[in-house]
Chains A and B, each alone.
Chain A
Amino acid sequence: MELNPRSYAGTLVLSPAGRLDHDSSEAFRASMQPLLERSARDGCCLVLDLSALEYVSSAGLRCFVLAAKQAAAQGGKVSVAAMRPLVAEIFRISRFHLLFEIHPSLRDALSAASAQAAAEFDRK
């Protein structure tokens, strides 16, 4: 699965798109794994930019948790940004808003990660 990885002053941003369900979650996890490992080695934060995500099932949400657990084990953290209304509602019903820091936009998430990340986002 294409995640369009990019980095802003050490904060990694991944952007899953389309439907993240039982059919696609394994591919998502496989694509995310090496990026997560690299990001954890560098001790950076991860932002999941969900602006292009149309739907997420329990299997997809479970991948987010696995990513958060892996990041936490290495001192990092995962936040989510720019959810569409449907995905935001699924997050609330699943109580995932209690597990993740949620930001209305990618820039807000980067700003929460570091001033440098936000500044680099603005420059790009």
Chain B
Amino acid sequence: MRVRFWGTRGSLPVALTWRDVRDRLARALLLAGGRRFESFEQAQAFAAELPFALTHTFGGHTSCVEFEPQAAAPSEYFACDMGSGARAFGEHVFARQAGRPATINLFMSHMHWDHIMGFPFFGPAYVPGMRLRIHGCHEALEHAFRRQQEAPSFPVPFAQLQADIRFVPLAEGEPQLVSGVKVTAQRQRHSGDSYGYRFESGGKTLIYTTDSEHKLEQAAETRAIVEFFRDADLVVFDAMYSLAEAVSVKADWGHSSNVVGVELCQMARARKLALFHHEPANNDAAIERILQETRRLEELTRDGQRLEVFAAYDGLEVDL
């Protein structure tokens, strides 16, 4: 199974400023130390060796995560949430399909704005012959998608979309096969509820759990979450806040921390943890620092199996 992150930021899209770009360029020039490059390829090879902080950004767009099961048909797509990253995901579908129709299965954690804002810019929704199946547990799922395209918010009403779009209700806790992928939803603590997903296909398991405040106060609730995560190959986890924020000033705001992510994954014996739904106020340096601290915590608290920790960024691909 391959996972592609098209949007990884929480709440609101963010971008580097011109000052950020200028400063990175200046630091890269310092590292070049007067070296001369004869071609773009030579310069590019040098850039590829530079530290992550100079050549990447965590981004970027709000939540949109695609996964490609090994046995999926070439015209079949799967993704979670339609944040602003959905635009790039749509372009990816067009490039791969080269004019051929496709079936795109979407799984919605919930319908807060940052998780649906990319849909009006999701190209395949406008193309006849494309099939969109929007899965979710909320009763108001279809209403939320239609409403955001109503005037005066957007110029193209939902009814004018040319793709074959259907909303597919899912029931919490009841595994269902969707184009060969076993899908299970679990209700999460978030304003208006959100749902985490467990996807199982070809012997691989992906957990997508964002916008979820895992308090771990009640033993039974903790056990249920751990069982949901059990033996996952990858857990995409809402690590928006520090633990201190999540239990004090931002308690009941509906998000979790890197610390709780490590604890749940260790209890569930998961293999990889992706820090996700980054706080928009955090710049790349802050996210990098959180990542290093999270890796250190995992090292300090490891009990046998190593948990690989990384911070998701727009454009990242991970093979499970």
Contact = CB atoms under 8 A, between A and B. Distances in A.
Interface in A80-116: 86, 89-90, 92-96, 98-99
A96 B242 CA distance: 9
A62 B267 CA distance: 18
A115 B141 CA distance: 62
B204 interface: no
Interface stretch (B38-46, B60-68, B214-222): B214-222
Contacts of B257: 58, 94
A94 B263 contact: no
Given A58-B259, A65-B247, A93 B216 contact: no
B48 interface: no
Interface in B126-164: none
Interface string B208-226: 0000000111010010000
Contact of A93 (B215, B222, B247, B297): B297
Interface residues of A, number: 20
Interface string B248-262: 100000000111100
A22 interface: yes
B294 A93 contact: yes
A22 B219 contact: yes
A58 B245 contact: no
Contacts of B300: 86, 89-90
A59 interface: yes
Given A89-B300, A93-B296, A26 B216 contact: no
23 contacts: A22-B263, A23-B219, A26-B219, A57-B263, A58-B216, A58-B243, A58-B263, A59-B216, A61-B243, A61-B247, A62-B215, A86-B300, A89-B300, A90-B300, A93-B294, A93-B297, A94-B242, A94-B244, A94-B259, A95-B242, A95-B243, A95-B245, A98-B244
